[in-house]
Chains A and B, each alone.
Chain A
Amino acid sequence: SYVLTQPPSVSVAPGRTARIACGGNNIGSESVHWYQQKPGQAPVLVIYYDSSRPSRIPERFSGSNSGNTATLTISRVEAGDEADYYCQVWDSSSDHPNWVFGGGTKLTVL
């Protein structure tokens, strides 16, 4: 089955840029979606189809996807961005197609 690898944690100072990676075999040929999850809350879709952003999500959130790495970028990081972030891919390669999530990255705002 398809495996998505994320760093367990990323730390960034307020106002700086955070980049969260999601690694997978030739992930650039897949569509990647990103979710933000704050403690005790349900996940929220922040980026879909690699780089599209729901209208309710700030423009500070952006995404890219190429080669073996997809990246979620958060510009001008704010304290309220502190959360767990998960990447997601539809794995159609196996006999039983399935949604796959990365292990998650905890973003800490210093």
Chain B
Amino acid sequence: QVQLVQSGAEVKKPGASVKVSCKTSGYTFTNSAITWVRQAPGQGPEWMGWISTSNDDTNYTQKIQGRVTMTTDTSTSTAYMELRSLTSDDTAIYYCATAATVTSPFDYWGQGTLVSVSS
């Protein structure tokens, strides 16, 4: 079955960077792109961006463009999301999910990674 397993919780100070991993299994990694979504405490989901696993094309939301980098490692079927210059507003649960294309719904989700930003 399709599984997306994310890295563990992180605690960061303002100004630092965080890199979250998303290891996939149960399907052919390059057949589906990876999208990243975050959810602040008590809030709804917020889309962050998308990366093609076949050619590494990316599409980031304007709000965080310039601070985020999404990458993949096809040898390990793993996707990564790095967010820099963290502030308290970046405190959230970060999810990876599969999506056929940038405009496709999000089929399968990881369990989420809590990133806390505090001085």
Which A residues are within 8 Å of any B CB, using their own CB?
33, 35, 42-45, 48-49, 54, 86, 88, 90, 92, 96-104
Contact partners of B103 in chain A: CB under 8 A: 90, 92
The yes or no answer to B107 lying at the interface (CB within 8 A) is yes
**Contacts A98-B47, A99-B47, A102-B44 given; does A42 touch B110 at CB 8 Å:** yes
In the bound complex, what is the Cα–Cα distance between A42 and B37 (angstroms)?
Answer: 10
**What count of chain B residues pass the 8 Å CB interface test?**
18
Contact partners of B75 in chain A: CB under 8 A: none
Residue from A54, A88, A100 with most neighbouring chain B CB atoms (10 Å): A88
In the bound complex, what is the Cα–Cα distance between A45 and B105 (angstroms)?
Answer: 8
Contact partners of B44 in chain A: CB under 8 A: 86, 101-104
Nearest Cβ on chain B to A15's Cβ, whole angstroms? 29
Nearest Cβ on chain B to A37's Cβ, whole angstroms? 8
